[in-house]
Homo-oligomer: A and B are copies of this chain.
């Protein structure tokens, strides 16, 4: 059976992105781990090593200090109770599966990440969307939630949950969570805020935003090694979300006992001081982002989504790249190619109509280098 397997490909598995290239991929920029986190992973790389001193549940482990960490995380997020999960999507599924009944409606924004839809489908829920305002801002108006809720209530539908994508992955729009949360509260529905693109990059205070649940992503925005997420909740939902097993009373059902039993949780802990610190510099990140938009709009890029930028994910329409692609013999690949020559990666290969990028966490020198490189490519190709 295994005679015809070529094992060579498993020897010396290497990654080139990141170490050799400046990576502009927005999903990668918030997940670069600091050196102290690399060291911690190395310590805990063997199997179940975080379970050395386990008394029955991951979130209560004291060595390494997971229990204290989760308390600190709740403080950082301004919520009551936190649990590790495998990521934002798993956090969302846990909330949906524990507080909604089959067939309930989830009201969510049209800019929601695909994982929100898939989580609803897995939890056998229906949904109704709050539409965005379309081209070019794709803005979600918090008031839209009222209308959708009204309509569902009029139709006699059961609403189980209000979900907002704090910052979406298409346009990098930041939506006013506090307003949506207020609407949810006024109508008496629980409110889940998907913070995959916000927590760990920018300051987020859950209760101030009227959130009942925060779904956070360690590998996406908290400088952690994937897969790892946080689910942070209000006390009043603990009984439902963290209900324990009838046969094994220590074990939380939705966690299947323990979730992130390995190095990822250790990396998230080791990176915690780093992320607590870095969210204080969010203004500076926004400055870099706006600088990039300003500079690249001068050469014919057109930023779509809300203006001015309030998040580092930038989406550009790039008709100027498309024009070059028409005449360049490399076609759409010229841009990827030219960037690579200059030590820049993370822009999807072959795309020239629209691009997504982020300079989050780069130094100003690097930001300027990226901008200059793109200008040079557009001018010379």
CB-CB under 8 A from A115, the residues of chain B are 256-257
Q: How near does chain B come to A8, taking the closest CB pair, in angstroms?
A: 9
A257 to B45, CA, bound (A): 25
CB-CB under 8 A from A30, the residues of chain B are 47
User: With an 8 A cutoff between CB atoms, is A273 at the interface?
Assistant: yes
A220 to B30, CA, bound (A): 30
Which of B27, B44, B262, B273 is in CB contact (< 8 Å) with A7? B273
Nearest to A8 among chain B residues (CB) is B273
A45 and B33 contact, Cβ closer than 8 Å, known pairs A90-B256, A262-B228, A269-B10: yes
User: With an 8 A cutoff between CB atoms, is A316 at the interface?
Assistant: no
Whether A7 and B276, one on each chain, are in contact in the complex, defined by CB atoms closer than 8 angstroms, is yes
User: With an 8 A cutoff between CB atoms, is A331 at the interface?
Assistant: no
User: With an 8 A cutoff between CB atoms, is A343 at the interface?
Assistant: no
* Residue interface bits A237-262, CB-to-B below 8 A is 1, else 0: 00000000111100101101101111
Nearest to A260 among chain B residues (CB) is B227
Which of B4, B36, B46 is in CB contact (< 8 Å) with A28? B46
Interface residue tally for chain A (C-beta within 8 Å): 91
CB-CB under 8 A from A90, the residues of chain B are 256
Which of B33, B39, B248 is in CB contact (< 8 Å) with A46? B33
CB-CB under 8 A from A379, the residues of chain B are none
Whether A75 and B225, one on each chain, are in contact in the complex, defined by CB atoms closer than 8 angstroms, is no
User: With an 8 A cutoff between CB atoms, is A323 at the interface?
Assistant: no
Q: In chain A, residues 106-162, which have Cβ atoms closer than 8 Å to a Cβ of chain B?
A: 114-115, 117-119, 121-122
A9 and B46 contact, Cβ closer than 8 Å, known pairs A41-B263, A205-B1: no
User: With an 8 A cutoff between CB atoms, is A224 at the interface?
Assistant: yes
CB-CB under 8 A from A89, the residues of chain B are 256-257
Q: How near does chain B come to A129, taking the closest CB pair, in angstroms?
A: 11
A65 to B8, CA, bound (A): 11
Whether A219 and B47, one on each chain, are in contact in the complex, defined by CB atoms closer than 8 angstroms, is yes
A254 and B122 contact, Cβ closer than 8 Å, known pairs A28-B46, A32-B46, A262-B227: yes
Nearest to A345 among chain B residues (CB) is B52
A272 and B7 contact, Cβ closer than 8 Å, known pairs A41-B263, A264-B264: yes
A12 to B7, CA, bound (A): 36
Q: How near does chain B come to A93, taking the closest CB pair, in angstroms?
A: 6
Q: How near does chain B come to A28, taking the closest CB pair, in angstroms?
A: 6
Whether B227 and A13, one on each chain, are in contact in the complex, defined by CB atoms closer than 8 angstroms, is no
Most chain B Cβ neighbours within 10 Å, of A28, A52, A68: A52
Q: In chain A, residues 18-46, which have Cβ atoms closer than 8 Å to a Cβ of chain B?
A: 18, 25, 27-28, 30-33, 36-46
Nearest to A43 among chain B residues (CB) is B15
Listed by A's residue number, 9 A-B pairs whose Cβ atoms lie within 8 Å are: A10-B65, A13-B65, A33-B47, A38-B42, A97-B122, A114-B247, A121-B245, A227-B227, A228-B262
The 8 closest A-B pairs by CB, nearest first: A31-B47, A226-B262, A47-B219, A13-B40, A7-B273, A15-B43, A89-B256, A114-B248
